[in-house]
Amino acid sequence: MRIVVDLNRCLGYAQCVPLAPDVLRLQGEEALAYDPNPDDSERQRVLRAAASCPVQAIIVELDPPADRTTK
């Protein structure tokens, strides 16, 4: 699956980190690092993490559009 975190919007609340720790990590006090193309097995955790974000900075590709052919 594919995600992108809007790091201008992200304020480092880190609510998402414990919900999907293999995809979203905090580096230092407030810098978020993420795996942009996590394994599909992370899907439920990523969706929960995205929903938990107080500023809704995590953009998730819910269903790949029909014209996107590559994995």
Q: Which residues bind another protein (CB under 8 A)?
A: 2-4, 6-8, 10-12, 27-31, 33-37, 59-61, 64-68, 70
**Least Cβ distance, residue 7 to another protein (angstroms):** 5
Whose Cβ is closer to another protein: residue 15's or residue 37's?
A: 37
| Cα angle, residue 45 at apex, residues 32 and 47 outer, rounded to 5° | 85
Helix (H, G, I), strand (E, B) or coil at 27: strand
Q: Are 12 and 30 in contact (CB under 8 A)?
A: yes
Task: Tell me how far, at minimum, the Cβ of 15 lies from another protein, in Å.
Answer: 13
